[in-house]
Amino acid sequence: DVKVTQSSRYLVKRTGEKVFLECVQDMDHENMFWYRQDPGLGLRLIYFSYDVKMKEKGDIPEGYSVSREKKERFSLILESASTNQTSMYLCASSAAGGWVEQYFGPGTRLTVT
Amino acid sequence: AQKVTQAQTEISVVEKEDVTLDCVYETRDTTYYLFWYKQPPSGELVFLIRRNSFDEQNEISGRYSWNFQKSTSSFNFTITASQVVDSAVYFCALSEADRNTDKLIFGTGTRLQVFP
């Protein structure tokens, strides 16, 4: 079974802090994704990566950056957390080859106070 | 522009009722895939089905069935004889044409509550 894990289920940070959200997948997937989920807005893509050290902006990249130094790990970084970044963050991975399903981690609920 | 619309924000039913979740999509591509995911209270999205644009056959898997109609750009999901364990948020998604990135466009989700 594909397993995608995220470093924390719940996280509380203060405004202005630098925040790291970590995601690890164990299926040797090429593609990895970061989404945020907000009520009424569904899932919105922040960044994705289709290879090590490669990254592409999604629909809402502002205020975020990412890092992919190893194939299995994809990190989301909030350089200076703000209250409007309070949200559920979901990581996903998928194999290369086109139009395949994504496998999701359990999510990190981040609260910025 | 590509878009997925799930007009039903929340649906409540009593156990054993049948329920249909609607999904309408927009795309200019002739080749695309549609997906349904389930997000139970635990939070992790679970993949349910993938359907390509050339296959309009309905699909049934146990109590679940999917009706894909290109003429109306819809990919609706029906749960027969609903159970409390079906309570979750359900997302419909559309894949973009760029097969190298596998980006998915999600609808806003439908929250299904099944009461005993």
Kindly report the average pLDDT of chain B as a whole number.
Answer: 92
| Residue position matching structure tokens 């040797």 | A28
From the list A96, A103, A107, which residue is nearest B43 (CB)? Answer: A107
- Chain A: residue whose CA lies nearest to B42: A106
Those residues whose C-beta lies under 8 Å from the C-beta of residue A47, and which sit 6 or more positions away, are A33, A34, A55, A56, A57, A58, A61, A64, A65, A66, A76
Mapped onto helix, strand or coil, the DSSP state of residue A64 is strand
- Chain A: residue whose CA lies nearest to B36: A101
Report pLDDT for B48: 95
- Interface A-B, measured as beta-carbon pairs within 8 A, has a size of 63
Residues of B engaging A, defined by a Cβ cutoff of 8 Å: 6, 9, 32-33, 35, 37, 42-47, 50, 52, 91, 95, 99-104, 106-109
- Residues of chain A neighbouring B52 (CB-CB closer than 8 A): 99
For residue A65, count other CB atoms closer than 10 A to its CB. Answer: 13
Those residues whose C-beta lies under 8 Å from the C-beta of residue A3, and which sit 6 or more positions away, are A25, A26, A27
Counting Cα atoms < 13 Å in the Cβ hemisphere of A71 gives 9
Counting Cα atoms < 13 Å in the Cβ hemisphere of A29 gives 30
Residues of chain A with pLDDT under 50: none
**Residue A99 to residue B33, Cβ atoms within 8 A:** yes
Mapped onto helix, strand or coil, the DSSP state of residue B67 is strand
Mapped onto helix, strand or coil, the DSSP state of residue B70 is helix
Q: B37 pLDDT band (50/70/90 cuts)?
A: very high
- For residue B98, pLDDT over 70 is answered with no
d(CA A37, CA A50): 21
> How many Å separate Cα B101 from the centre of its chain?
21
Residue pair A31/A95 in contact by the 8 Å Cβ criterion: yes
- For residue B99, pLDDT over 60 is answered with no
Report pLDDT for B1: 75
Report pLDDT for A2: 63
Q: B82 pLDDT band (50/70/90 cuts)?
A: very high
Report pLDDT for B42: 86
Report pLDDT for A30: 92
- For residue B84, pLDDT over 90 is answered with yes
B18-31 per-position pLDDT tens digit: 999 999 999 988 88
From the list B32, B52, B101, which residue is nearest A56 (CB)? Answer: B101
- For residue B74, pLDDT over 90 is answered with yes
- Residues of chain B neighbouring A33 (CB-CB closer than 8 A): 103
For the four alpha carbons of A85, A57, A101 and B62, in that order, the dihedral sign comes to: positive
